[in-house]
Structure 1
Amino acid sequence: MMKLVIPILFAFMCITAFGNKSISRNEYAEHKAKNIKVMTYNIHHCNPPSAGEKIDVAAIAKVINDESPDFVALQEVDVYTLRSGKGLNQAKELARLTGMNFFFQKR
């Protein structure tokens, strides 16, 4: 199922970015020159590998902000679980720290 989500989201982004209107060759060249930066990141429930049991949402947000992607697909995001400590909604907190929107889907 997850293997289908990323291609579907990418197709949706492309359709949304270009729409279905008729455009001239010059307008097409301008659209074609624009890039969308996509990032995929296994955040390991915001637990950096060298940090023991520490949950560091801000460190994960910094990595995302440093890359400045247009779209991020995250894996191993905890939402209201005990594994990440206080039952934090990591998806919502990462969205707040990065200034991005979020959508969470439990598998």
Structure 2
Amino acid sequence: MRLMCTPSDDEDIPDQFHAALPDDRWHGSVQGPDADGVAEAAQETVRAVLWQVWPVCPEHRTGANERAVWWCRAGDGHELCEVGELAQTLPGRQRREGRRREG
């Protein structure tokens, strides 16, 4: 995913930021590129465009919530990882494939 900005034409209306998929599809927006807003926008895009939850907790196979810390909602819930560290939770092969795509 990547962060996109739609500049406002009106100085009284803030710029809008979107978490977009690689093909530029996105859904929803936030007014500032802070971690909480970006995490929420990313999850909203995946949920609305791809009809999936993301990220998925590897222990419980369910979606996490939209805080700056990814949180697994299964059972009593638990912290999955900090936003920006999600790749560290992926199994080795998926993590390597992700690095290849980035590089």
Instruction: Provide TM-score, normalisation by structure 2.
Output: 0.25
Larger RCO, structures 1/2 (Cα 8 Å, 6+ apart): 1
Tell which structure's C-alpha radius of gyration is larger: 1
More helix by share: 1
The structure that is strand-richer by fraction is: 2
Give TM-score, length-normalised by structure 1.
Answer: 0.24
